[in-house]
């Protein structure tokens, strides 16, 4: 019997600005990427998410990115930026009605008040925005999650709460790629650690 395909397969991913990159992650596995500012960490995540121009072969559970529409791919491999985007006035408007119960349940576990969903985005702190942006991706129940410095604006307690949720998703089969400046976070998530330098990635 042949081995199942990786949850995420990235082969010869490149652009005029970065790469080539190769990465494979099985279900339940994480990769943590660190490196100096401007080295290409965020660019790599954006290329995987097909948000920046790129070429290469990518697949989710053996299904090629080339065979999917861009919106379908991004729902299956959502990217959460270090500074998340919010395009409507109220928080609740960024969640589908059928997602709200799950979103509120996760929010309670990461220290967010239920009433935040009914308020305006403008009143959110940076840390609240970041946690809600991650929740917005998690309620899609994606096979792959791409996180760019997800806990940088969070206090230690909130960081641990979010890591607990992520570790549970990893146990359920999520493949996670996270950019972090905290080497200890890579260890807590059980992640393979990679270094990005000059827009090339190597094992740490």
The neighbour count for residue 182, using CB atoms within 10 Å, is: 15
Q: Which domain holds residue 25?
A: 8-83+143-203
Q: Which two tokens stand for residue 141?
A: 């129940």
- Contact call for residues 166 and 176 (beta carbons, < 8 A): yes
Residue 105: CB partners within 8 Å, gap ≥ 6? none
Which pLDDT tens digits describe the chain residue by residue (204 residues)?
Answer: 667 899 999 999 999 999 999 999 999 999 999 999 889 999 999 999 999 999 999 999 999 999 999 999 999 999 999 988 899 999 999 999 999 999 999 999 999 998 999 999 999 999 999 999 999 999 999 999 999 999 998 999 999 999 999 999 999 999 999 999 888 899 999 999 999 999 999 998
Whether residue 184 is contained in a domain is answered as yes
Q: How many domains does the chain have?
A: 1
- Please enumerate, as own/partner, the contacts of 156-159 that have beta carbons within 8 Å and a separation of 24 or more: 157/111, 158/110, 158/111, 158/127, 158/131, 159/185
CATH code of the domain covering residue 164: 3.40.50.300
For the record, the structure tokens of 129 come out as 């925005």
pTM: 0.94
Pull the structure tokens for residue 4. Answer: 């199942």
């Amino acid at each position: 019997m042949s081995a199942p395909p990786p949850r995420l397969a990235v082969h010869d991913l490149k652009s005029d600005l970065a790469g080539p990159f190769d990465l494979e992650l099985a279900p339940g596995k994480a990769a943590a990427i660190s490196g100096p500012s401007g080295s290409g960490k965020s660019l790599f995540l954006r290329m995987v998410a097909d948000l920046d121009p790129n070429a290469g072969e990518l697949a989710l559970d053996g299904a090629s990115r080339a065979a999917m529409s861009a919106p379908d791919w991004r729902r299956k491999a959502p990217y959460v930026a270090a500074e998340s985007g919010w395009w409507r006035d109220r928080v609740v408007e960024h969640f589908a009605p059928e997602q709200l119960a799950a979103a509120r349940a996760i929010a309670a576990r990461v220290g967010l008040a239920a009433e935040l969903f009914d308020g305006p985005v403008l009143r959110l702190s940076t840390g609240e925005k970041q946690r809600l942006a991650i929740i917005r991706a998690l309620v899609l129940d994606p096979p792959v999650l791409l996180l760019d410095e997800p806990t940088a604006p969070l206090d230690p307690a909130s960081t641990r709460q979010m890591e607990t949720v992520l570790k549970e998703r990893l146990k359920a089969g999520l493949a996670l790629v996270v950019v972090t400046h905290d080497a200890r976070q890579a260890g807590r998530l059980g992640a393979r650690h990679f270094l990005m330098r000059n827009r090339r990635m190597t094992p740490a």
